[in-house]
Structure 1
C-alpha cells in the first residue's frame, strides 16, 4: 500500500489543511508553556496528537504513520541522543576528577565578570563547537561549562541557546548550506555568499543582545568595548570566510578569531565594576582589585595543571574537527572511494559499523506531493561516523590523561545515562513527531500557505526556515524540506532565489532556540530535566524578536538594499 501526500487533504482546501497541520505545534506550546508538562510527557503526547491527525485528517495509513515515527525516534537516539550522552559524560568526568575546578579558575583568571564569561563560553566556544560538530553538542557542552562556573542552570541553558543563533547556518562544517545544493541545483558557495551577507548583521549585534538579556542595558553598556571586540571580530570573519572560502569554515574560524581576540583584549582592559548574579556576593571592585583576585586564583595552579584540566575539551575539539573533514567523514561512514591506504582501512571499519536497513512499510511507500517520486526511508545508523562517537573517543583518551580507573569511568557513564534518560525520551518523541508530520505532508502544507503571501513573501520567507527548524530541530532538515519551495516561489514573485534560500537558513537559526529537540538537549545538559517549559518561556520571545530582525533584513535586501547581494 502506498500513500500520496495531499496538501489539500482537509476538505480539499489548503487553508483548512494548514489549520489542522498547525494543531500539533499549538498543542506542544500549550503543553509546555501553559500546562507546564514535563518535557517527555509533552513530547509523547504531541507525537500522539500528530499520529491521530495524520491518520484521520491527512489519510495516512496507520502502518506508515507508526513506522515514520519509529524512523524519527531512531534518529533522535542516534545521532542526536548519542551526542548528548557522550557530551554530558565527558563533562561529568572532569567534575568527578576535580579538574573542573581548575577550568573554572582558569576562566576566572581572564575575568571574573559573568558577562565576559558568557561571551567567551556561550558565544565564542559554543560557536566553535557548532562549526565542528553541531547536532546539539555546542549547547550541551557550553551550557554545562557555564553551570560549572556558577551560572544558574536555566540562564546557562537559555543563554547558550540564544548565543548559538549566529553559527547554526554554517554548523557541522557547513552542512546546512551544502544540503540545499542538491534540491535546487544552485552551488553551495553561491548560497553561502548571501547567508554571509545576512548573518554577520546578526552576529555583530548578538553579543550585545546576549548581555542585555543577561544583565540589562546599563550593564551591557559597561562592557561595550568587549562586546564590540567579540561581535565585530566574529562577524567580519564570518563575512570574509563565507564569501571567499565557502560554507565549510565560517563558524570554526569566526569562533577562534573571536575567542582569541576577546581573551587578548581582556589582558589590557577590564570593566570598572565586576558583575555577579544576585545570588552571589555583589561587589563594585576596581580594576586593580579584579587583577589581584584573578592573579591569586590563577597562580594556585600551574600551566601544566590548567592544560591537563582543559585537555578533555582540547582532545574533543581535535576529534570533532577530524570527524568533520569531508573525506574522513566519507571513510567513517564507509563511502570513501580514494586510494589513501589509511583511509581505506578506516573505510572498511566504517562500512562494517554503518547500518541502513529499510524502514518496513515505509520505504518507497510515500509518494511526494511535490516531486511525485517515491521517498526512500531507512534507519540511518552510522555508529563510527556519528559525532557522539568522536566525543566518546575523547572520553576514552581523557580516562588515560586523568588516570581514572575503568571501574570509575564505567560507573560515571552509567550514572550519566540514568541522569538524562528522560530528556533522551523527549528527544526521541519530538523527532518522531517531526517525521510523522513530514511524511503526512503537514509541514509542507504550512510552507505552501506562507508561500502565498505574494509581494510580502520576501518578509515571510525566513518564517519558513524558522518553522522548519522548530519542527525538525535542524537547519539542515529545514533547508532540505523548503529549499525547492523557496526557490520556485521566489521566482514567481520576482525575488532573487538566492536570497530566499539564504533567508530560509538565516530564519531557521532563530528557531533553533525554541525547537523541542534543542530545549530537551539544553535541559539535559544542565540537569533541568522536567523544566523544559521554563526554558521555552525564557527563549520564545527572543526567538520571535530575532526572527523579525531577519525578516526585515531580507525584505530590505530584496528591495532597497539589493546592492548588498553578490
Structure 2
C-alpha cells in the first residue's frame, strides 16, 4: 500500500506545495498563454503530474499509472456519460427541427436577444444544471446562443459565466450530498449555508451576462429585467435551500426567475433592443408541445427516479469495487476510499438521460435509424472534449492519490485565522482541475472541516464555502472549456475562451472570499445557520 507523504521535497510543506502546483500551472499556462488545444495541454499536464508523483513524491510508477486510469474511467463515467447523452437528446431535436421551434418560443418572450440570452443561459441553463449538471447546460445553451446570432466565442463565454450560481445545487444537489458524506455534517445545514452565499452571486450574474454581450449601455437598458431575474432567482434559491428542499433548490429558482422575467416583459420593453435573428413564424401548440417534450420527459424521469422504491430498485444493480492493484493510505496511515469505483449504471444521471432520450424518440417523431445515427455522431462531435475530460480527471486522480492535492490543501490550511478568507479558493482550485463542484467537495470537504476546527471557524461555513467557491472555478476548467468549444466548433481554441472568462472567475472569487470571511466575523455571523 502506498502511504502519502505531504512534505517530500526537503521536508518542507511550502516547497512541496510549489512542486504539487506544477501540473496545474503547466495546464493553465498552455491554455492561456501558449493557446494550445485543451486535449494536448491536458495530456502534457498529465505527464507532468505523473513525473511529480514518481520523482518528487515516493509513489511507485505502477500505482501512479493505475490512479491515472481510474481518473480517466471516472472522467468517462459518470461525467462524459452525462454530457454525451444530453447532447444526443439535443442533436435529435436539431435533426427533427424541434430545436428551432424551441428557439422561436424563447424569441417570442422578448424580441431583445440580450434578454433571450439571459433566459436561455441563466434560467434554462440553471434548470439543466439542476437536472443533469456536469457540463450539460454549457453544451446545450452555448449552441442555443449561437443560433440567436451571437458569435461562437461570445456564446461560449456567456454560457460558461452563467453556469455559476446554480452549480452548488446542481444534479439534484449532488455536490452538497457529497459534501455531507465526506464531512459528516447535516445536508440541511450545508444546503442552508450555501443558500446564504450563492444567491448573492445570482443577483449580479444576469447583469454581467448582458455586460459581456452589449457593454455598459446594454446593462443600463436591460437593468429592470436582469435585476428581476437575478433577485427572484436568488430569493427562490435561498427559500428553497433553507425551507423547502435542498435537492430542488435550482429547479424552484430557475422556474421562478423565468416566470418573473416573462411577467415583467408583458408590461415593460427594454430600450435599444438588439433584435434576434431567429425566425418569427408561428407554430401550432402541438408542435410547441413536441419541442418541449424531451425536456419535460427528462424532468419526469429524474423525478420518478428519486422516488424511494424506484430509487432503491435502480440502485440495487449498482456495482462498487476497489480499482484493481491500487491501494492508497493518507499520511496518517488510514486507507483512502478514493480508489473505489462506483458503477451506478441505472441511477447515474447519464443513464437517466439515455432513458429520457429513448422515450423522446416517439415524442419528437424521429426514426430509430436517425436516432442511432445522431447517437454515434455525438461521439464523433465530442471526440476531443472526451480526450480532454478523461485526461483532466486522470491528472486530478494522480494528484489526489500521490498526495499532491493534500499538500496544497494543508499548505493553504496553515493560514490560521484568515483561513475563512481563502476557504473558497480551495473549492475554486478543486473545480478548476476536475470540472466538477462535486469532485471538489470530495477532495477538500474534510480538509476544510479539519482546518476550521483547528482555527476556530464554524465548520459548516468552511465546508459550504468550498462548494460556493467551487462554482466559480467551473468556467475555467479545461473540461468545461472543451465542452463549450466543441459545441460551437472552436475545438483547439479553448485558450481564447479561457482568457475571456478568467477575469470574471477571479472577480467573482474575490467577492466570495470576502463574503465568507465576513461571515466568519461578527459582521455577518448572523448569516451562518
Structure exhibiting the larger radius of gyration computed from Cα positions: 1
1:456 equivalent in structure 2: 418
1:524 Cα deviation after fit: 2.6
Question: Cα gap change, 1:229/1:273 in structure 2, threshold over 3 Å: closer, same or farther?
Answer: same
Q: How do 1:6-405 and structure 2 match up within 5 A?
A: 6-276=5-275, 297=280, 300-324=282-306, 328-334=310-316, 351=317, 354-362=318-326, 365-369=327-331, 372-375=334-337, 377-405=339-367
TM-score, normalised by the number of residues in structure 1: 0.89
1:344 counterpart residue number: none
Shift of 1:317: 2.7
Query: Could you list the per-position Cα deviations for residues 477-513 of structure 1 after superposition, in whole angstroms to 9, with x for gaps in the alignment?
Result: 2222222221222222232222111211111111111
1:373 partner SS? coil
| Deviates most, 204-213 or 439-448 | 204-213
Aligned position for 2:372: 410
The equivalent position to 1:545 in structure 2, one of 504, 507, 513, is 507
Q: What corresponds to 1:426 in structure 2?
A: 388
Alpha-carbon distance in structure 2 between the residues aligned to 1:75 and 1:36: 27
1:469 to 409, 412, 431: 431
Q: 1:21 to 1:196 in 2, by over 3 A?
A: same
In the other structure, the counterpart of 1:338 is none
Contact (CA 8 Å) 2:113, 2:148: kept in 1 or not? no
Other-structure match for 1:493: 455
Distance 1:199 1:509 in 2: 9
Counterpart of 2:525 in structure 1 is 562
Q: Is the 8 A contact 1:173 1:324 kept in 2?
A: no
* Distance verdict in 2 for CA 1:325–1:433, change over 3 Å: farther
Question: Number of residues paired by the alignment?
Answer: 528
Please, which runs of 5 or more residues in structure 1 have no aligned partner? 281-293, 335-350
Q: Is the 8 A contact 2:475 2:501 kept in 1?
A: yes
For 1:322 and 1:67, locate their aligned partners in 2 and report how far apart those are by CA, in whole Å.
Answer: 37
**C-alpha contact 2:328 2:339 (8 A) present in aligned 1:** no
Task: Work out the CA distance in 2 between the residues paired with 1:326 and 1:128.
Answer: 22
Moved >6 Å (runs of 4+): none
Distance in 1 (alpha carbons) for counterparts of 2:131 and 2:103: 23
Q: 2:87 touches 2:136 (CA, 8 Å); kept in 1?
A: no
Question: 1:380 and 1:373 mapped to 2: Cα distance?
Answer: 17
Contact 2:3–2:333 (8 Å) recurs in 1: no
Residue of structure 2 aligned with 1:534, choices 463, 478, 496: 496
Displacement after TM superposition at 1:553 (Å): 0.7
C-alpha contact (below 8 Å) 1:188/1:246 kept by paired residues: no
Q: CA deviation at 1:370?
A: 5.1
Residue 324 of structure 1, CA deviation: 5.0
What's the CA shift string for 1:25-79, capped at 9, x where partnerless?
1100111112211111111111111111111111111111111111111111111
Unaligned runs of 5+ in 2: none
The aligned residue for residue 340 of structure 1 is none
CA distance in 2, matches of 1:132, 1:503: 23
1:325, distance to aligned residue in structure 2 (A): 5.3
Q: Write the distance in 2 (CA, Å) between the matches of 1:390 and 1:109.
A: 31
Change (3 A) 1:168 1:330: farther
Deviates more, 1:17-26 or 1:124-133: 124-133
Q: Deviations over 1:334-386 (max 9, x none)?
A: 2xxxxxxxxxxxxxxxx1xx444432210xx2112257234462333222222
SS of match in other structure, 1:369: coil
Deviations 1:283-315 (A, max 9, x none): xxxxxxxxxxx9x925x2122212212222222
C-alpha separation between the residues in 2 aligned to 1:164 and 1:102?
24
Secondary structure of 2:324's aligned partner: coil
Taking structure 2 as the reference length, the TM-score comes to 0.95
Q: Is the 8 A contact 1:166 1:199 kept in 2?
A: yes
* Stretch deviating more after TM superposition (251-260 or 474-483): 474-483
The separation in 2 between residues aligned to 1:162 and 1:326, in whole angstroms, is: 35
Q: Structure 1 residues 329, 69: CA separation in 2 closer, same or farther (over 3 Å shift)?
A: farther
Equivalent pair of 1:39/1:426 in contact (CA under 8 Å): yes
How far, CA to CA, are the matches of 1:446 and 1:111 in structure 2?
48
Q: Is the 8 A contact 2:385 2:479 kept in 1?
A: no
